[in-house]
Structure 1
Amino acid sequence: MSCEDKISALHDDLLLKILSQVPTKDVVTTMILSKRWGLVWTMVPKLEYKDTWKEGEKSIWRLLEKSLQLHKAPVLESLNIQVECQFCDDADVVKCVSYAVDHKVRELALILPSQPKILQLASNVYTSKTLVKLTLSCRTLVVDVPSLPCLPSLQRLALLSVVLLSNCPALTHLEVFRNLSDNVTRFIVKVSSLKSFRYTQHKRAPSRSLVLDSPGLRRLNLSDPHGDLDSIQNMPHLDWAYVLHFVPNPKDKKFLRSFSSVKVLRLSLRNVECCSTIKFSRLMKVTLHLYCFDDFMCSLEPLLLFLHNSPILKVLEINYDVALCSNGVPLSWNRPSSVPVCLLSHLEIFVWKEFAGRRQERAFVAYILANSKRLKTAEFSPRYNLYEKEKEKMMELLKSMYRASASSQLDFLI
């Protein structure tokens, strides 16, 4: 039996699974194999169209329109359209998206370059009862959401340089990537059903504010170096959070107060002092990437205050980025009067990256090692510009420090 005969002998369900993994342009060509294949390809539940600059602006839309007209699957699982070139008539986009919604599409991705004029989605998208995942990327795409509740089944939403949004009652995942030309100064997210939110601001964008009121959040990723993040409401169920933000005033105690219930926290900040008075009662793991600039004193003391307020912390990772500083920048450290509870009862892993080995840093490390009774691993990687002899001397010094946990392991990554 020939290879072609063996493939044709497969059950329709298996053929559809195979064809679902192939670009639609190639799937359509199978219709010439036989009358049976001419019917099978029209039942493929996943359609993917990608057009490059070389292929020209009209090819994908002709293929899209024709294949959607012939499509017979009862439910369209996904439609993925990715185009690299500009096009003149947005009616092609509206027509194809509208047709997909009529075919009960569940996942829709529309990734387009910036167009000569404003694009809008087909109106029936907003009333779709089957759409659960929507990915949109186009700087000239405006999603004109009606005032009434819409997209009743939508659970995952990704926005890349797109103007949106309102009234998605079932939304659980939201991603927002804002570009430099974005003219929205106050971005508001109020979604009670939201479980995961990723917000990325352009690093050179002017100061903008984020208003976040989604108390059901469990995962949060905020990358906004210079924006106003003080309007974030309490998130009592937060499990994981990453924050990149250079607080203008390190003593601004408003910042991060809404993160007090988080379990795993990654912070990229100028100084941890902004959250040294916040009680992190559920925090078990924290990664602190602290950027020390040369216009203020780098202080280690707020780190101890942070530890005092994190009673069940098990993992502490520190990256003190002093690459922009000279070794002459003052580093403050004074031994505290009491030992944080997490050191006495919970801390198991201690990591310090970009360890420079200055006197105050050594004193801080010695304090951690001498009081962490349950410590299992302490790991250090030296600052990138240290000489080999300096690294070796540092390693010997760390080895000589007293450790309250005799069974703990000391690792030095050169």
Structure 2
Amino acid sequence: MRNQIRRRGTRRNPICRRDTVSEIPDELLLTILSFLPSKDVVATSAISKRWKSLWKEVKTFRYDDPYPLPFNMFALFIGSRSSVDILQLKLSPGFSRTDINPLVNDAVARSLRELRIEMLYISFELPQCLYFYPQLETFILQKLSLVDIPSNVSLIGVKKLHILSVRFLSDESVIKLLSICPLLEDLVVRRSLYTNVMIFTIDVPTLKNLYIYNSWKSRPEGVHGFVVNAPSLRCFNIKDSFSNYLRFGNMPELVKASVNIVCDRPEDILGSLASTRYLSLCLQSPYLPLATSFLFLDHLELYSCPSQWCNLLKDAPILRVLKLYQKHSQPNDVTDSWNQPISVPECLMSHLEIFEWRHYNGTDQEREAAKYILGNASCLKKASFYSKSARKHDILKELESVERGSKTCMLVFE
């Protein structure tokens, strides 16, 4: 028996001692190293023979001040590399253009494709070497004060631009920056307490993807918000509970939209989204307009009360997936009343297959709305209800007893 135990032990020990890191392919290790500050990347050369030269293949370089390695040493390090794909700089107020420009020049000379600069609201002027440089595809500006851009220049290769909590000289400076990016396809805008732009105008005919996030803690004084004119847009994502001025142009190519805003004129917003196939909508508005048709809408996620979302069903004739997130209203709120449509919407009769209702509590209004959906959705394959109510068991029984328009519908309750 003892011999058997020893033999079993010897079979297990090699497994326990196996070096799983050495089995990771170089490509994955290089991806992991690209997320580390450059000083830590270089330090990995002391791990083993394999790592001694592996770090030299990393082409992403990061300097995060305060940094044990002096900035001039980092600049010399960049100058010694044969290729620099990505350069990321996070700098304290002690740095100036005389520090930054030579470093960026060296990176550009080594085929720079992506540049990220964060400067803690220091005044920053774009290095001259970036203008008319075709290989820079991604440009990320964060927490800095951008000096006005000179005339007759261009960021001719930039396709992705991130403007994250950036101060501008004026509202017109935003327009100027976007206008010098003739190939711009992806734009990310984050507004914060530090952003001084009032009306952020995005007029980019080539834009395909737009992400807007407004993180102001409270509404500033005056008129402030966004004007968007992007006719080629395919993906639109906005989360903004603070702007009081939102104007969106026509988006005929739109495929996917996620809209979470406060809006006094919802008809203008929804009209711009009419071409989308996927829509996530959280529209904090006293009403939803009845005049917008979503002829191509396949998937709808709606954060609203029943009185609002029932209006949208008749305007989305080919809707296949409907997900509801119950918006809790105040007691006796008349806007939360359920009004059954005069005629059954086309999507219920011939297209709706998936139905989900989150935060379902089984109130009288919710129950009437649920009965209407289940009773008229003749193509429904699955209906799911999610609730945290203490009456879960009773609510489930109520739903199970509802007559369903689809004989193949599976009811799920969690």
Aligned residues, how many? 373
Deviation at 1:180?
Answer: 1.4
Say if 1:51 and 1:60, in contact at 8 Å, map to a contact too: no
1:237-316 equivalences in 2 (<5 Å):
237-248=253-264, 252-271=266-285, 273-290=287-304, 300-316=306-322
Equivalent of 1:179 in 189, 192, 195: 192
Q: 1:343 to 1:60 in 2, by over 3 A?
A: farther
Tell me which residue corresponds to 2:204: 191
Q: 1:325 to 1:287 in 2, by over 3 A?
A: same
Say if 2:288 and 2:311, in contact at 8 Å, map to a contact too: no
Say if 1:19 and 1:44, in contact at 8 Å, map to a contact too: no
Q: 1:46 to 1:155 in 2, by over 3 A?
A: same
Say if 1:28 and 1:41, in contact at 8 Å, map to a contact too: no
2-side partners of 1:60 and 1:264: how far apart?
49
Tell me which residue corresponds to 1:405: 406
Gapped runs of 5+ residues in structure 1?
A: 1-11, 291-297
Q: Deviations over 1:115-161 (max 9, x none)?
A: 4xx122212212211100111212x3305333335111111111211
Tell me which residue corresponds to 1:103: 110
Residue type matched to 1:260 in 2? A
Matched, 1:356 2:361: yes
Residue type matched to 1:110 in 2? I
Say if 2:318 and 2:346, in contact at 8 Å, map to a contact too: yes
Q: 1:193 to 1:66 in 2, by over 3 A?
A: same
Say if 1:110 and 1:137, in contact at 8 Å, map to a contact too: yes
SS across alignment from 2:370: helix
Matched, 1:226 2:226: no
2-side partners of 1:253 and 1:14: how far apart?
48
Deviation at 1:405?
Answer: 0.7
Q: 1:301 to 1:51 in 2, by over 3 A?
A: closer
Tell me which residue corresponds to 1:321: 327
Q: 1:370 to 1:31 in 2, by over 3 A?
A: closer
Matched, 1:202 2:209: no
Equivalent of 1:212 in 202, 210, 228: 228
1:77-88 equivalences in 2 (<5 Å):
77-83=85-91, 85-88=92-95
Residue type matched to 1:311 in 2? P
Matched, 1:114 2:121: yes
Tell me which residue corresponds to 1:294: none
Gapped runs of 5+ residues in structure 2?
A: 1-25, 169-173
1-side partners of 2:384 and 2:250: how far apart?
34
2-side partners of 1:31 and 1:302: how far apart?
61
Q: 1:29 to 1:308 in 2, by over 3 A?
A: closer
SS across alignment from 1:289: strand
Deviation at 1:244?
Answer: 0.9
1-side partners of 2:182 and 2:46: how far apart?
45
Q: 1:373 to 1:127 in 2, by over 3 A?
A: same
Residue type matched to 1:240 in 2? K
Q: 1:274 to 1:66 in 2, by over 3 A?
A: same
Deviation at 1:78?
Answer: 1.5
Deviation at 1:65?
Answer: 1.3
2-side partners of 1:275 and 1:301: how far apart?
12
Q: Point out 4+ residue stretches in structure 1 off by more than 4 angstroms.
A: 12-23, 26-33, 40-45
Say if 1:276 and 1:303, in contact at 8 Å, map to a contact too: no
Matched, 1:70 2:80: yes
Q: Could you tell which deviates more after superposition, 257-266 or 16-25? A: 16-25
Deviation at 1:19?
Answer: 7.3
Residue type matched to 2:271 in 1? R
SS across alignment from 1:64: helix
Q: TM-score, normalised by structure 1?
A: 0.81
Tell me which residue corresponds to 1:381: 386
